[in-house]
Amino acid sequence: MSPDKGINALGSQIVREIIIPALTKEINQGKNFAQLRQVYNSLILAAWYKKKIKNSILTQVYADKNKIAGVEFYRDAINGASTPEEIYQRYLQAFKKGAYNYIKEERDPVGQKVIPRKYFSGGGDNGRGRRNEHCRRRRRACGFK
């Protein structure tokens, strides 16, 4: 074997046994390629999702339509909210008073006693008065006065 072929063979062996495994490990596990892996996984997930919902109404309305401007604020026929301020006020009302407050009586399987369970959706101050401060901070963060 000539010296040039021996050097080429040695170089190929080093690439195959040392460099490629090190690069593979860095690409699959290293922090330098973490964002690239995230983008790649997102692309795979997006392709899977698009395939799964191919025949849905959502796809018929939005897929491949280049609708990037966002959804406009349309007047709500029931509540009449059409501006971000009105929508935010409705959110605050639901947060303060709750969207629903439901008590259901269920039977305890062990003791056979009737246990009332309360289901509530909305904010609560837990006796500490933090709810209103949260609302004020959230309101300022969203650009409302």
At 104-142, the pLDDT tens digits run 888 888 888 898 888 877 765 544 444 455 555 555 555
- What are the structural domain ranges in the chain? 3-62, 91-141
* Distance from C-alpha of 100 to C-alpha of 18, rounded to nearest angstrom: 63
Question: What is residue 121's three-state secondary structure?
Answer: strand
* Distance from C-alpha of 14 to C-alpha of 19, rounded to nearest angstrom: 7
Beta bridge partners of 106: 115
pTM of the model: 0.36
At 58-67, the pLDDT tens digits run 788 877 787 7
